[in-house]
Structure 1
Amino acid sequence: MLYRVEGIVIRSMDYGEGNKIITLCTESHGKIGVLVRGAKKVKSRHAALTQLFTFGEFAFFRQNSGLGTLNSGEIIESHFSLREDLYLAAYASYACELLDKTLQDEEVGSFWFTQLKACLEGLTAGKDPQVVIHLFEMKILQAAGYGPSFESCISCGRVDDSGAVSPRLGGRLCRACRHHDPAALQLSPGSLKLLTLFEKMDLRRLGNIEVKDATKGELKAVMRAFIDMQLGLKLKSRQFLDQLDKYEI
């Protein structure tokens, strides 16, 4: 059967001497694997379609629910600039791997696709990559069913000025309930306000937000803790991103 879908390449791997297998995140069919014959050959007309972060239209044949075979395709947005910049490539790779490891094969949902598309567009447009990625992490947690709650205490519902956040319990704790998790992270009012905003915001609505370095540090620590605690993923791209951060001036 011939399928025609819009998708984003979130993984690309060599297969045999001249072929590649790409993994697409699509709006209508979830995550799909597609074999691209001859993609590694110099004169291949499909080579560009196999590049990471490429957003395009893909037509492929597939029997049942197995691996598809590409018939034709057209690039809508190559996101070439993301592959040219080492730091942006690292952030974009992390976003794609995080989605790939979280989204199950054939799991349908336009939310995954639209948020990844907005994430890559935000990085391409020059928005602060850390802010973009932390908001994307929030959307991934929500889509996976582990969305944190920051507006009020997750234990009693009370609202106070406590900045305690528990990745293990799933959100904010008031002073009276702080004892439920002695390991809860203490955040500044600015970080807590931003996380509360992220909880409600669609990535497609993100503007250019200026965030202090200290706040970014807190955001990174708390979102890292939520990802580790709730999803338990080991991502190669995150390790590389951490190495780059050490050398960033």
Structure 2
Amino acid sequence: MLYRVEGIVIRSMDYGEGNKIITLCTESGGKVGVLVRGAKKPKSRHAALVQPFTYGQYVYFRNTGLGTLNAGEIIESYHELREDLVKASYASYACELLDRVLQDEETGAFWFKQLKACLQALKEEKDPVVITSLYEMKILQAAGYGPQLDDCISCGQERPDEQLFVSPRLGGVLCRACKHFDPPAMSVSPKALKLLRLFAQLDLQRLGNISVSEGTRDEIKKIMRAFMDHQLGLNLKSRSFLDQMEKYGI
């Protein structure tokens, strides 16, 4: 059967001497694998279509298993992301995270739109830490692990004037009276908690220009990293590379 989809390349790997296998996150068909014959050859008309982060229209034939590319057209190459180490690293993390969480052929419209918005925001040079934290929040929510941030996850009480704590292990905030249920729970500043609550409600496609202080940004990054580790527990190469970049101040 012949399929025509809009998709973003979230993974690209060599196959044989001259071929590539790409994994697409598509708006209509979820995640699909497509064999692109001759893509590694210098004069291949499909060479640009297999580059990471490329957003395009792909026409492929498939009965079972991998599809085989017939034709394609680039809608947005996102070459700016591949040409900048920092942008490429964050974009690679966004794609690898989605690849690991999204199941094959799972309905992908929401995931696709969030990834596209993430790549576009990186292209526009918005703060990559803020973008990534918001993207992680959307991934957690779509996967069914969205944190409970409005009231205590243990007693259910709203305590607007009280110091709250974030429990990545339990998946939400704890009030002071319930902190003993998770002693390692992290204290959270009012500014960071307000931003986390905004992230929980905000669609990444609607992200405008947002200014966050360095301290709050670092706090949000730490909290979201803890949520990702506890709730999803994924070992991602791109995440390790980002950690190395941070370690060496890149």
Equivalent in the alignment of 2:99: 100
Equivalent in the alignment of 2:81: 82
**Distance (Å, rounded) in 1 between the aligned partners of 2:129 and 2:222:** 12
Structure 1 residue 154 displacement after superposition: 1.2
Q: Which amino acid aligns with 2:116?
A: K
**Distance (Å, rounded) in 2 between the aligned partners of 1:185 and 1:243:** 24
Aligned counterparts, 1:225-236, within 5 A = 225-236=226-237
Q: Which amino acid aligns with 1:63?
A: N
**Distance (Å, rounded) in 1 between the aligned partners of 2:125 and 2:151:** 33
SS in 2 for 1:176: helix
Equivalent in the alignment of 1:143: 142
Aligned-CA RMSD value: 0.9
Equivalent in the alignment of 1:126: 125
Aligned counterparts, 1:33-182, within 5 A = 33-64=33-64, 66-160=65-159, 161-182=162-183
**Does 156-165 or 218-227 show the bigger shift?**
156-165
Q: Does 1:17 pair with 2:17?
A: yes
Equivalent in the alignment of 2:192: 191
Structure 1 residue 207 displacement after superposition: 1.1
**Does 183-192 or 38-47 show the bigger shift?**
183-192
Spell out, residue by residue over 1:92-119, the C-alpha distance to the aligned partner (whole angstroms, 9 max, x if none): 0000000000111111131100000100
**Distance (Å, rounded) in 1 between the aligned partners of 2:219 and 2:164:** 11
Is contact 1:154-1:172 (8 Å) kept? yes
Q: Aligned pairs, how many?
A: 248
**Distance (Å, rounded) in 1 between the aligned partners of 2:163 and 2:98:** 32
SS in 1 for 2:145: coil
Percent sequence identity over aligned pairs = 70
The runs of 5 or more residues in structure 1 that have no matched partner are: none
Structure 1 residue 234 displacement after superposition: 0.1
Is contact 2:31-2:108 (8 Å) kept? no
**Distance (Å, rounded) in 2 between the aligned partners of 1:17 and 1:116:** 31
Structure 1 residue 220 displacement after superposition: 1.4
**Distance (Å, rounded) in 1 between the aligned partners of 2:213 and 2:80:** 26
SS in 2 for 1:151: strand
**Does 155-164 or 174-183 show the bigger shift?**
155-164
**Distance (Å, rounded) in 1 between the aligned partners of 2:236 and 2:109:** 24
**Distance (Å, rounded) in 2 between the aligned partners of 1:221 and 1:82:** 24
Q: Which amino acid aligns with 1:70?
A: L
SS in 1 for 2:45: coil
Aligned counterparts, 1:215-226, within 5 A = 215-226=216-227
Is contact 1:115-1:204 (8 Å) kept? yes
Q: Which amino acid aligns with 1:243?
A: Q
Spell out, residue by residue over 1:21-67, the C-alpha distance to the aligned partner (whole angstroms, 9 max, x if none): 00000011110000000000000000000000000000000003x10
Provide TM-score, normalisation by structure 2.
Answer: 0.97
Q: Which amino acid aligns with 1:67?
A: L
Is contact 2:165-2:186 (8 Å) kept? yes
Q: Which amino acid aligns with 1:59?
A: V
SS in 1 for 2:72: strand
**Distance (Å, rounded) in 2 between the aligned partners of 1:176 and 1:7:** 48
Structure 1 residue 232 displacement after superposition: 0.9
SS in 2 for 1:34: strand
Structure 1 residue 155 displacement after superposition: 1.5
The runs of 5 or more residues in structure 2 that have no matched partner are: none
Q: Which runs of 4+ in 1 moved over 4 A?
A: none
Structure 1 residue 217 displacement after superposition: 1.5
